[in-house]
Amino acid sequence: MEANSISDKTLVDAAMAGPGVNGHKGSEARVSNPTKEAWILQSLRKRRSEFLSTSTIQAFVGTWNVNGQAAASVEELAEWLGFVPPANAPVVVAELPELLVLGFQELDVRAEAFVYNNAVKDGEWTQAVERSLGETRYSYAKLASKQLIGMFIMVYARIDVMDEIVDVQAASIGCGIMGMVGNKGAVAVHLVFRHTPICLVCSHLAHDALQLEKRNAQFHDLCKRLTFSSTEGVPAADPLVPASQQSVTGTGAAVGRPLTVFDHSYLLWFGDLNYRLAVDTGDSEEYIARHEYEAILGLDQLKISILNKQAFVGFEEAKVDFAPTYKYMIGTGEYDAKRRPAWCDRILWWTRPGCDGGVRSLSYESVPSLSISDHKPVRSRLELDVWKVQEEKRQAVFLEVLRELDRYENECIPLATLDSSIVDFGYVYYGKPAKATLKLANTGQVPLEFGFISTPARERSAPEWLRISPESGMLLPGEHINMEFSVFVDSATAMPLSTRIDELNDILILHLNRGRDYFIQVQGDYMSSVFGMSMDVLVHCKRPVRLMSREDFEACLGSGQYSVPVCIWTLTDFLTRFGIDRGYSLFYWKGDSELAWSVRECLDTGEKLNPDRILQWQGEAEGHVARTASEPVGLARGNTANLSLTDQTLVSSSAMQSALSGFALSSVPSTAEALERLTLNPWSAISPAQSHQYEPEATEQQNEEVRLSVSDSDSIAQDQIPMRPSLQSTGGDEALAGSPLPETIADAANIAHDVGVDTVAMVLVDFLKSLPEPLIPTEMYSACVEAGGISRAAALEAMEVLPPGNLNVVVYLLAFLREAVDQGSVSAQRVASVFSTVLLRAPRERHQTPGDNEKAENFVSFLLRSHGEI
C-alpha cells in the first residue's frame, strides 16, 4: 500500500501546479505547507460532485481455471457468460455490460509451455469466447488480451463506449518457479474509462493448502512488480487532480514513475488465488451440502489473511454464497474426495481512498453446471462509478477552496487599520517642535505586535529629526493607539535640511509581527534657517538662506566669502544702533519669544529688521495678535487631516510683512562698513525695569545663583528675577572700571532696557549657540580653558590656531562686545559669563572639572581686553 502515500503527495503537487503548466518539468509551484495541502485535498474531495460528472457502468468479470482442457463449447461458455441473449432474441446493447473481463488459468499446462513460454491455446479460447457471444459479438470490441503460459486475460468493451477508453496497456509478471516463471503470476490490463483509471488483474497463486505464506508473498510481489507506463495527458488516479496533470503526478521525486496497480481508482483482482480452508473440522462437507457457507468461510485462508492484514488488505469481496469451486472430478459436480473443497477462485476489488464505494457487486456466483475442469468458473457483475472531470469546474472549486482557506488564514493574521499613511507636518521651523498622530487600530482577531523597523539609510527606525512614540507595542483585538510623531530640528540635524541636501521627508516602515508592512510617509517643509547652519557656509551666503536652492548653496561655496555672516552683522548692527546707542542694557534680560521668532524669520528671509516695530513691541498683546493670526500663507497643504500642530506658534507671513519692511539684498554691507557703524553712544539709564529677563543657558554655577536668588526673595516670581552677573571679580575689569556697570541684581534692575533690544540680543546669543560647531572649535576648548586659568598672553597664544574664518567672526564679535562694555550697556563680567558658553563649548567626551566655567569666563575676559592683539 505504500503506493498510496506517494500518489497522495504527488497529486497535491499536481493540483497546486494548476492549469497551464502541463508538462512543465520540475515546476516549483507548490503550497509549501503539507498540512495545508491535506486540508485542500479534503475540501476538494467533499465537493467532488461539483466538478465530476459521474456515471455508472457494468463490468462482467469471470475467472476460470480450465485445467489445461481444450476450449469449452460455445454453449458452455455462453452459460458462463450468462448475459448473452438466446440466438434469435434481439440484442439490446444498453443492457449489456460495458466491460467484459475474462481471466483463465491453466490454459496450457504442457511442460514445454513453461520452458519455452510458447503457449498457443489462447487463440482457441479467444475464438470460442467470441463465438459464444453470438450476435452480441458485434456489440463488443476487443480492448486487450495478455497470456502468460497458463494465465490469460481478455478484455472487451462495448463498442459504443470504445471512444471513452484510453491508455489501454497490458502487462504480465511470473512469480512461480524460481519466483520468475509464469506457471504462477498475473496478467493484467490497465485502462482509463473516461477519466477513471482502472486496473484488471488475473492471477494464479501458489497451490497447496500449506503454501499460504507463499501465496501472500506472491501477492505482495505482484503488487510491486506489476506496473504500467505513465502516459502524459492521461488522468491521474484521483479525480481531484486535473486531467492534464498525469505527467505531473510524477513530478518531483520521480518524474515519469511507472504506475503501480494502486495508481488506479479501481483495482479488480481475480483468478485462482488458491486459498484453501485453514483447518479440517471434518464436517465442512456437511455445511457445503446444506449451503451453509457462512459457517466455514471463517476458515477461508483469504478471509483470514485479509483480517490479519497479511495480504489483500483493503480489498473487498461480495458475499460468497456459492459452493467451493475446487476440487471437482472432471465431468461431474462431485468433489474429488482426495482434496478438501476450497474457494480457490475469487473476484475481489480495491478502491482508492476517495473513490470509496465506487465498485458495487450485483452478482457473485459460480457456474456449477460446467464440468470440463476440476474448477468451477466464477462470475460477477460489478457496477462501477466512472467520472469525467469537468476541468473548469474543478478549477473553480479549487479556487473557492483556496479562498476559503485564505479567509481562515487571514483571520489569524494580525490585521490593523492605520488612519493614514502620510504624516504631514506642514512648515517646520528650526527649534520648534511639531507633532502629528496616526491612529493604529487592531482590527484583527489576534493580538497585534507592531514596531517600526530600521532601514539601511539609517540605523534607527526613524530619521534623526523625528521621534515616534511609541516605536513598538502590542494591541489586543479592538484596541487602538495614537502613535505620536514629533519633528524637531536642532543644530545636530539642521545643516543638511537648511542647505537642501536633504529634505524633511522620509518613509518609515511599520511592521506588524507575522503580518503586513506599512509604508508611512513623513513629510514637512523645512524652512531653511541660519540657525543650525555652519559658519563656513554662512559666510558664503550672499542671499537670504530661505531663498537659496541646493544648487545656490553648492555654487556659493566656490565664490568669495564675507568676513562675517550677514545675520551676525544684522543683529549686531541693530544692537549697536538701538541698544548701545540708546543706552539700553544688553544681555541681562530675556527677550520676547514671539518677537524673537519674527527676528529670526527676518534673518532667514532677508526681511529688514524694523526698528520701530521691534522697539515698540508690546509683549503679550502683540504676541496674542500674532498667535491668533491665520497660519502662514501657503501652509494649507494636501493632507493635514491627521496633523496636530501643537506647541507650534506660527506667525502669519502677511502679518510679518506688514510689521517688517523689505530688506534690500543689494545693501549687504561690507565688514569694513559694518565695523564703522559700531559707533559709540552715551549711556543713559532711564526706562523702568520690565518683566523680561534674559536667561542664558544655565550652567551649573548659574543655576546655583538662581536658586540662591529665589531663596533670598521668595516673594518675587522667578521670571522677574534679573539674572545676577557673576559676583566674583576675576580681577580683569580694571580697564573698564570707570564705566557705570551693573554689578548686582539691584544694579541690573536699575538699568534701562527694552524688550525689543533684549530680544535681538537673545537671538544673537541663541544663533551663536545653534552653530553646529562653536566659533572656537571644540577641539580648542581644553587649551582655551587652560589658558583662561593662566594669563591674557596665554589666551592670545591659544587663539593663534583658530582658523582665519572663525577668527574674523570672533574679532568682529569682540569688537561689538567691547563697544557695548565701553558704552556701559553690559559689564565685562557679564559678557564673559554669557559668551564663555557661546564661544566655547566643551567637547562631549571631556570630563568637566569644577573650575572650568570660571576659567572659560576668564578666557573670554582676556580676549575682551585684547583689543587689536588677536
Partner 1 sequence: MPKQHTFKVVLLGESAVGKSSLVTRFVRDQFDPYKESTIGAAFLMKVVPIDNENSANLHIWDTAGQERYKSLAPMYYRNAAAAIVVYDITQAASFERAKSWVKELQRQAEPGIVIALAGNKTDLSDRRTVEYAQSFGLLFFETSAKTGDQISGLFTELAKKIPIAAEPAQLQGQSGVNLAQGGNAAGGAGDCAC
Instruction: Tell me which residues in 343-402 interact with partner 1 (CB under 8 A).
Output: 398-399, 402
Here's the x/- map for partner 1, 775-794, by CB under 8 A: it reads as --x-----------------
Q: Does residue 35 belong to the site contacting partner 1 (CB under 8 A)?
A: no
Residues in the interface with partner 1 (CB under 8 A) total: 77
**604 alpha-carbon distance from chain centroid:** 46
| Smallest separation, CB 496 to partner 1 (Å) | 4
Q: Does residue 676 belong to the site contacting partner 1 (CB under 8 A)?
A: no
Of 494 and 745, CB closest to partner 1 = 494
H-state helical runs in 164-260? 212-225, 246-249
Q: Which three cell numbers stand for residue 550?
A: 541646493
Q: Does residue 581 belong to the site contacting partner 1 (CB under 8 A)?
A: no
Which residues between 473 and 532 bind partner 1 (CB under 8 A)?
491-492, 494-496, 499, 501-502, 505-507, 509, 511, 514-519, 521, 532
Closest of 540, 592, 597, 589 to residue 565, by C-alpha: 540
The stretch near partner 1 (CB under 8 A) out of 73-81, 274-282, 292-300, 406-414 is 406-414
Residue listed under C-alpha cell 485453514: 278
The stretch near partner 1 (CB under 8 A) out of 15-23, 41-49, 141-149, 582-590 is 15-23
- The DSSP annotation for 469-524 comes to E-SEEEE-TT-EEEEEEEE-B-TTTHHHHHTTSS-SEEEEEEEETTS-EEEEEEEE
Rounded (10°) angle between helices 2-17 and 34-46:
90
Q: How many CA atoms lie within 13 A of 834 on its CB side?
A: 27
Q: Which three cell numbers stand for residue 478?
A: 479592538
Q: Does residue 632 belong to the site contacting partner 1 (CB under 8 A)?
A: no
Closest of 534, 456, 509 to residue 805, by C-alpha: 534
| Smallest separation, CB 844 to partner 1 (Å) | 14
Instruction: Measure the CA angle with vertex 42, ends 37 and 46; round to 5°.
Output: 150
Here's the x/- map for partner 1, 830-869, by CB under 8 A: it reads as --------------------------------------x-
The stretch near partner 1 (CB under 8 A) out of 14-22, 69-77, 298-306, 571-579 is 14-22
Q: Does residue 557 belong to the site contacting partner 1 (CB under 8 A)?
A: yes
The stretch near partner 1 (CB under 8 A) out of 13-21, 76-84, 170-178, 376-384 is 13-21
The stretch near partner 1 (CB under 8 A) out of 22-30, 249-257, 567-575, 700-708 is 22-30
Of 309 and 458, CB closest to partner 1 = 458
**Separation between Cα atoms, residue 480 and residue 513, nearest integer Å:** 16
Longest dimension (CA), the chain: 156
Which residues between 412 and 451 bind partner 1 (CB under 8 A)?
413, 421
**78 alpha-carbon distance from chain centroid:** 70
Residues 6 or more apart whose Cβ sits within 8 Å of residue 773: 534, 535
Q: Are 816 and 564 contacting, i.e. CB atoms less than 8 angstroms apart?
A: no
Here's the x/- map for partner 1, 795-834, by CB under 8 A: it reads as --------xxxxxx--xx----------------------
Q: H-helix or E-strand containing 140?
A: strand 140-148
| Smallest separation, CB 455 to partner 1 (Å) | 6
3-class SS of residue 862: helix
| Smallest separation, CB 523 to partner 1 (Å) | 8
Instruction: Measure the CA angle with vertex 794, ends 790 and 796; round to 5°.
Output: 140
| Smallest separation, CB 569 to partner 1 (Å) | 12
Q: Does residue 678 belong to the site contacting partner 1 (CB under 8 A)?
A: no
Give the one residue of 6, 9, 21, 546 binding partner 1; rule: CB under 8 A: 21
| Smallest separation, CB 808 to partner 1 (Å) | 4
Q: Does residue 537 belong to the site contacting partner 1 (CB under 8 A)?
A: yes
Which residues between 197 and 256 bind partner 1 (CB under 8 A)?
none
3-class SS of residue 798: helix
Give the one residue of 228, 266, 387, 553 binding partner 1; rule: CB under 8 A: 553
Q: Does residue 668 belong to the site contacting partner 1 (CB under 8 A)?
A: no
**Separation between Cα atoms, residue 490 and residue 661, nearest integer Å:** 28
Residues 6 or more apart whose Cβ sits within 8 Å of residue 289: none
